[in-house]
Amino acid sequence: MVTNRVFNFILPKKRLVLHFCCKCVTFDFPGNVYSKNLIESNEEIAMVEQEFKVMFHQIEQLKEEIRDKEHRIVKEFNEQAKLGELW
């Protein structure tokens, strides 16, 4: 992070005002950056795992609905075939 600071220096004899711009630089040590990235990555992994679990559950529910509907269709088809044989 870079910040600017302005310092005023007054020289008593000449009464000059000097403006001095100082750029103060703070460094993030690589360990801190890596640790932060690791924490963010672990949070993202946990979020993706949770989304995966939800989607897996939804897929299983949809599969069950499809099986039920197929079962009903086959049952109705067989009933209609039996009725057709009677006529």
pLDDT of res. 73: 96
Among residues of the chain, what percentage have pLDDT more than 70? 63
On whether the CB atoms of residues 71 and 78 are closer than 8 A, the answer is no
* Residue ranges per structural domain of the chain: 2-86
C-alpha–C-alpha distance, residues 46 and 37, integer Å: 14
C-alpha–C-alpha distance, residues 43 and 39, integer Å: 6
C-alpha–C-alpha distance, residues 71 and 77, integer Å: 10
Q: What is the pLDDT of residues 14-51, one digit of tens each?
A: 444 444 444 555 555 667 888 889 999 999 999 999 99
Residues in the chain, total:
87
* H or E segment to which residue 14 belongs: none
pLDDT of res. 19: 43
Token pair belonging to 51:
């989304």
Q: Which residue has the higher pLDDT, 31 or 69?
A: 69
pLDDT band at 84 (very low <50, low <70, confident <90, very high): confident
Average pLDDT, the chain: 78
